[in-house]
Structure 1
């Protein structure tokens, strides 16, 4: 698994340049920076100029704080019960998602006699975390609740940002504007990766892209402007011939329609290559890449292996021990996701622990040892 940190930094620059006015481009580095390595990725983004980071869990925030002692860190999943002292000691900002979280953070700040910062999440239509707009208005009017701490960011999250024409995008934007109109002095954040591309109306003060940093496709229509940042390769264990009418793999899911050469590759669903992306007689599956050739997956993906059709690849190229690309510049995670009936987020964050991780340009592969 090769991870190009410079490509991640370049994607961050591209996103920053999309933002209107003085909007800040933060970075969402939850889930081990979408599988690319939290410490390594955040450090490279910091070198590039990123100063604000979003994670999901307090454990991620603490790990990030060890790497970057001076940056701003928000925990999207909020204030976990009994952890206010830990957040405060590490200078971590919770995104307060409910009245009980606000009560606990307020009580801690009141007892500590310190107005610590925190974000407040407004639910504008996602129906997941966050305060409904009328509850948010009541909370902000209650000095006992919000007086002891400093609301430093007002946050909401787009439910359908990847579909630019979806009417809920405009509804959420209007709801967010209306809810926050009385608080012009507090910075605001609505745009995830998709929101960056929806235009200036969605940018506000802080954008918090995630998937686009890692080369993923933020918008469903159109082409992906982001650079790939990950290449995953696995070895060919053997090349074998199957003749017409023979079946391949578990469940005899696919039957050869002609004599084929198959490369059996050392990667499977234990490594994050989803079983749903296998093929059968009824449907095609995903693909790999070798020497300029697109290699269809043949049959079911098993735990540790998958089969690729190398019939049209020269035998000198498709041979024992050679690496094939399973994800990368030629095999986009968003393309694989179509076959697996999922999204590229799941592919990137689900890549397994058995890969040898190497940081460097995608054009340079480590040797075959």
Structure 2
């Protein structure tokens, strides 16, 4: 194993960090390869929006490019311009499309705009008349009610005899709204609507499946799949064991161990209520680091929907989070560890190898996507590559 930054080494910044992330780029590559294989005859793209789901666009892009990815999706043209030097011959698709004032970014960086509306289509065609031919992708809304031409607008465009020859999309795409629920009837309705559109654009490649869509089977794969969260180790399908390997392990340092007596309270509002004599670890992490306030433990009113709260992991034991998560500090119950096992300076795993990021997210009423993309700048990062 080649190691870019070994967390067991004497690297001063990593060893001294209050919060730290170990990012397994080998797992990232393996997850992408697994989704590419699961995509069957289709090829898998790599989705790198939001700073590669929080792990860093440079290491993620370089890893996935070496793994074989050549189709990339990012949110906006600024992300695309940052990505271009990392994937020199990659096809970079811009999900937000083109708007007045950013046309230059597309031509200077060879970015592919995704046409999401008739207004964007008009702008793109006007830009072509000034700058010459450029590839694009046509996005069709088959049920998400978000971006994309309606099915009717797309069919009208396909059958318009006056359609300029310069409008020649290289891809027609849509986005599944309920792919994480395989039994949802909208999946099949979207598929049938999309097939109607792809038939009208005969000979043009097509793309429908996100991470969950890849698991829906070959009918949904078409020519190109767009797995996102699964590549980063998160759950793509509800109520199914997650087959992906964790990519990110987040840890927070224990600053202090305190004793609390039965009947004591702790944190803001006395929200941690001790029903036994307890030992409490105060960790240097809070909502400023993306460890959300909604993760707060039992007894906190904002957690009424799921009063158990989150857990950390320390010395082989799950440890409950206590009371309100604050800006910079969070309490964990280490009473069930052997006495003196938990010490100041130890690191509590917030999620990663032993605590699934999606389980933590559920405790806070959210999803793994938000946990990963909310990781703040105060984490020292170590990248390990297989």
The TM tier, using the shorter chain, reads over 0.9
1:181-200 alignment to 2 at 5 Å?
181-200=199-218
- Provide closer, same or farther for how the CA distance between residues 234 and 361 of structure 1 changes in structure 2, counting only shifts above 3 A: farther
- TM-score (norm. length: structure 2): 0.91
Partner of 2:273: 255
Partner of 1:52: 71
In 1: Cα distance, 2:165 partner to 2:269 partner:
63
RMSD, matched Cα: 1.4
1:344-363 alignment to 2 at 5 Å?
344-360=368-384
CA contact (8 A) 1:26 1:52 kept: yes
In 1: Cα distance, 2:280 partner to 2:87 partner:
47
Q: What's the CA shift for 1:118? A: 0.3
In 1: Cα distance, 2:163 partner to 2:351 partner:
49
In 1: Cα distance, 2:154 partner to 2:168 partner:
15
Q: What's the CA shift for 1:17? A: 0.9
Partner of 1:299: 323
Decide which of 340, 344, 353 is 2:364's aligned counterpart.
340
1:261-272 alignment to 2 at 5 Å?
261-272=279-290
Partner of 2:167: 149
Question: What is the CA deviation profile of residues 203-252 of structure 1, one whole-angstrom value per residue up to 9, with x for unaligned ones?
Answer: 00000110001000000111000000000111100111111111110111
CA contact (8 A) 1:162 1:220 kept: yes
In 2: Cα distance, 1:56 partner to 1:147 partner:
28
Decide which of 222, 226, 251 is 1:208's aligned counterpart.
226
Count of equivalent residues? 360
Decide which of 18, 23, 31 is 1:11's aligned counterpart.
31
Partner of 1:356, secondary structure, is strand
CA contact (8 A) 1:106 1:145 kept: no
Q: Greater relative contact order: 1 or 2 (C-alpha under 8 angstroms, separation 6 or more)?
A: 2
In 1: Cα distance, 2:251 partner to 2:40 partner:
38
Question: What is the CA deviation profile of residues 337-364 of structure 1, one whole-angstrom value per residue up to 9, with x for unaligned ones?
Answer: 11111111000000111000110169xx
CA contact (8 A) 2:159 2:200 kept: no
In 1: Cα distance, 2:165 partner to 2:385 partner:
49
Structure 1's consecutive aligned runs of 4 or more residues displaced over 4 angstroms after TM superposition are 143-146
1:15-34 alignment to 2 at 5 Å?
15-21=35-41, 23-34=42-53
Quick check: 1:128 aligned with 2:146? yes
- TM-score (norm. length: structure 1): 0.95
Q: What's the CA shift for 1:145? A: 5.0
Question: What is the CA deviation profile of residues 97-132 of structure 1, one whole-angstrom value per residue up to 9, with x for unaligned ones?
Answer: 0011111111111222x3211001000000000000
Structure 2 unaligned runs (5+)?
Answer: 1-20
Q: Which stretch of the first structure deviates more once superposed, 330-339 or 118-127?
A: 330-339
In 1: Cα distance, 2:245 partner to 2:113 partner:
31
Structure 1 unaligned runs (5+)?
Answer: 363-369
Partner of 1:314: 338
CA contact (8 A) 1:233 1:323 kept: yes
1:57-96 alignment to 2 at 5 Å?
57-96=76-115
Q: What's the CA shift for 1:143? A: 5.7
CA contact (8 A) 1:26 1:208 kept: yes
Partner of 1:104, secondary structure, is helix
In 2: Cα distance, 1:333 partner to 1:280 partner:
19
In 2: Cα distance, 1:118 partner to 1:361 partner:
34
